[in-house]
Amino acid sequence: MSALRRFRGDAALLAGLLVAGLVLLAGSSPKDVQSSLSFLDAAGVERSFSLDVMRRACEEREVVVDDPYHRKSMGYVALPLGCVLDLGFAASGGGEGQRDRGLLLRAFDGYTRSVSGRDLLEEGAFLAFGESARMGRGPGLARFTRIDRRQVDPSPFYLVWTGVEQGDPHDHAWPYQLAHIDVAPFEQAFPRTVPSGLAKSHSGWAGYALFQRACASCHSINGEGGKVGPDLNVPRSIVEYRPIQEIRAYIRDPEATRYTSMPAHPDLSEADLDALIAYFSVMSERKDDPRARGDS
Ligand code: HEC
């Protein structure tokens, strides 16, 4: 072996030791530094929690889920999302305090999914921070298998659902690379429900306010909002297939038409019903069907 070859070998070894030393000095790899989740509450206060802190606060579990991206059953090490929300929103009523709020789930890759607090408080939600098969196999191994068409690393967090009915990402949010959970005003959380371009004086705005307060926890418009009842705008708007008088009667007292879990709204005045119908009518001219769009 020539002197040069030997020198290059030594140099490589030295460089390697140097890098190892720097990593030790820094105390953690860049990936670990990113392993925190931030929470923005309704007052605009942001709090960030590292994985270590969340693991101390919430009991971790191994969960097996029907993974819609891997298209098979996968085991994850995860924290119950309810506990994580209680920690993140401790200053504003915990997870339960966000039930009627709009939230944005934001990922490192820019993916943003709007959900209601109610959606996230459903049983079966877990914040996964690694695959069972990969955890504890030394620091060199990535915690997750790469995922989705783009083959990205789901780190630091992947929201998974254990229920058999919760495996469709159209109905339940399954964001990976999750980094932020932000309380956001309804319009910001559910932009496709906004009657955009409508004159400020139009009664559709009053209807929209009513819809947010009384209906959105169960119903969506253009795929955004609650999933308990049917979407009221796509593919066909409620005002396109039901006579207006029937819709009004139905909203006031659904059980007079059919036995249902939809609650009665005897408190709504004639003017309130006018406003709701106005909102549905203007939204029927602003269709934005998530399935036609092909995203979630
Ligand atoms: C607690 C959940 C819940 C709330 C709140 C709620 N709904 Fe419903 N709604 C349902 C469910 C579930 C259905 C489907 C079953 C049925 O039609 O009875 C439904 C059905 C409907 C239908 C009939 C749809 C069809 O095609 O037959 C209309 C119209 C409707 N809701 C309007 C409203 C409006 C407007 C509000 C707000 C004022 C509202 N709902 C609030 C749960 C809810």
Token pair for residue 220?
A: 């969506």
What average pLDDT does the segment 198-224 reach? 92
Centroid of ligand 1 to alpha carbon of 151 (angstroms):
39
Q: Kindly indicate the confidence band of residue 34, based on its pLDDT and cuts at 50, 70 and 90.
A: low
Q: Which of 205, 209, 219, 207 is nearest to 273 (CA)?
A: 207
Q: Which residue has the higher pLDDT, 291 or 77?
A: 77
Centroid of ligand 1 to alpha carbon of 124 (angstroms):
25
What average pLDDT does the segment 74-97 reach? 97
Is the predicted pLDDT of residue 6 greater than 80, yes or no? no
- Cα 207–114–274 angle (5° rounding)? 10
Pocket of ligand 1 (CB under 6 A): 214-215, 217-219, 228-230, 238, 247, 250-251, 254, 258, 260-263, 265, 276
What average pLDDT does the segment 166-189 reach? 90
Q: What is the largest CA-CA distance in the chain?
A: 94
For residues 44 and 61, what is the distance between their CA atoms, to the nearest angstrom? 31
Burial-class residue 131 by CB neighbours within 10 Å (0-12, 13-18, 19+).
buried
What is the pLDDT of the chain when averaged over all its residues?
87
Classify each residue of 175-202 as buried b or exposed e, where b means 16 or more C-beta atoms within 10 Å of its C-beta: bbbbbbbbbbebeebbebbbbeebeeee
What average pLDDT does the segment 62-74 reach? 96
For residues 291 and 220, what is the distance between their CA atoms, to the nearest angstrom? 13
